[in-house]
Amino acid sequence: MTLIDHLRELRGRMFKSVIAIVIGFCIAWWQYDWLFDILIQPFTDSVHHLAVEKGIKSTPFVSGVANAFLLQTKICLVAAIVLTSPVWLYQIWAFVLPGLHSNERKWTMIFVGVAGPLFASGVLLGYYVLPKGLEILIGFTPGQIDSLVDVNSYISFTLRVLLVFGVAFEIPLFVVLLNLAGVVSGKQLGRWRAYIVFATFVFAAVATPSTDPITMLFLALPMTVLFMVSEVIARFVDYRRGRGDDEPGFDEFDDDEISTLNLRHDPSDELPGRLDDD
């Protein structure tokens, strides 16, 4: 395919993803009350625990005229992205699919079956960890002061945590995709393992907005385990493709050295009597 054809293909995949997200947005708008109750529940649980343990009171509020509308729009948009994750993840896979071997295209359904649950598992883990992070942050409030929490800020904080956990769980899957496309090999992942694990903990520390070590570890440890699994899968794929450790290397050859192989086929060599140039 030419570059223009690739861009047309990318445009079509993005259009289908946007249509799916719009449909998911309409569904989320219809079920907004239920979604809001789910998102506010971690705050309610953490505030109740702090009130019992430390006597700290915290009350959510919404300021401004249009902020309630913006709040609902934000929640429904993120819910639509999570709800339609199998669709747009499949579109990403379908864009990479032509670069794979024909016997690997059967993995499409496996990809769809794994990508969605991985994203949902990350979101659920973030939802489980969220009250612990909120307790740490709100717990710094002195006992004689009531904490007023802007709901828009809280929802932005919550959605960021959930999306970071969900996207982070997809990173090992994209590592496998890069391996299938021939960009990285399992041997390279093994050489880079220590650096990748270190980068994973740095990413978890930077990406989690709560800045507490508990949330960071809850994100970094599963990501590390998933990366180890992706390395094993990459090595297995390399073995099936014949790209193992016994693959011949060409590092000892000079880039400007002329090859001794003559792959050009001259039809005149097959003639019974070849005439000279003169």
Residue 104 lies in a domain: no
Residue 220 lies in a domain: yes
Q: Taking residues 19-28, what's their average pLDDT?
A: 92
Q: What is the pLDDT of residues 215-249, one digit of tens each?
A: 777 777 887 888 888 888 888 877 777 765 544 45
Contact 54, 139 (CB under 8 A): yes
Confidence of residue 22 (pLDDT cuts 50, 70, 90): very high
Question: What domain count does the chain have?
Answer: 1
pLDDT tops 60 at residue 273: no
Mean confidence (pLDDT) of the chain: 76
Residue 249 lies in a domain: no
Confidence of residue 98 (pLDDT cuts 50, 70, 90): low
Domain that holds residue 62: 3-98+113-243
What local confidence, expressed as pLDDT, does residue 52 receive? 66
Q: Is 115 exposed, middle or buried (0-12, 13-18, 19+ CB in 10 A)?
A: buried
What local confidence, expressed as pLDDT, does residue 248 receive? 47
Render the burial of 59-87: b for 16+ CB within 10 Å, e for the rest.
ebeeeeeeeeeebbeebbbbbbbbbbbbb
pLDDT tops 80 at residue 127: yes
Q: Taking residues 165-176, what's their average pLDDT?
A: 80
Residue 252 lies in a domain: no
Window from 2-16, 54-68, 87-101 with minimum mean pLDDT: 87-101
Residue 251 lies in a domain: no
What local confidence, expressed as pLDDT, does residue 23 receive? 93
pLDDT tops 50 at residue 261: yes
Residue 274 lies in a domain: no
Residue predicted with more confidence, 143 or 28 = 28
What local confidence, expressed as pLDDT, does residue 82 receive? 78
Q: What is the pLDDT of residues 58-73, one digit of tens each?
A: 777 887 778 888 888 9
Residue 264 lies in a domain: no
Residues 6 or more apart in contact with residue 128 via CB below 8 angstroms: 218
Residue 258 lies in a domain: no
